[in-house]
Amino acid sequence: MSQSAIQDRIATKLSLDAQVKYLSIQAELDLLLQQVRANQVKTAQKN
């Protein structure tokens, strides 16, 4: 089972309030990962 499928199963078992918090944390983590990857590319291009 993929990680996203597991995360979806967990999210559906939470209360609606907890689901909203869970999804906002997921979105924030996705943004942070994108920023990290972008910074890695910039750093690699400088070297």
Span 22-33, pLDDT tens digits = 889 999 999 999
Alpha-carbon span 19 to 21, nearest angstrom: 5
Concatenated DSSP letters for the chain?
--HHHHHHHHHHTS-HHHHHHHHHHHHHHHHHHHHHHHHHHHHHHH-
Span 1-47, pLDDT tens digits = 787 787 778 777 889 999 899 889 999 999 999 999 999 988 888 87
Query: Taking the domains of the chain in order of start, what are their residue ranges?
Result: 3-46
**Listed residue (16, 1, 3, 10) closest to 30, CA to CA:** 3
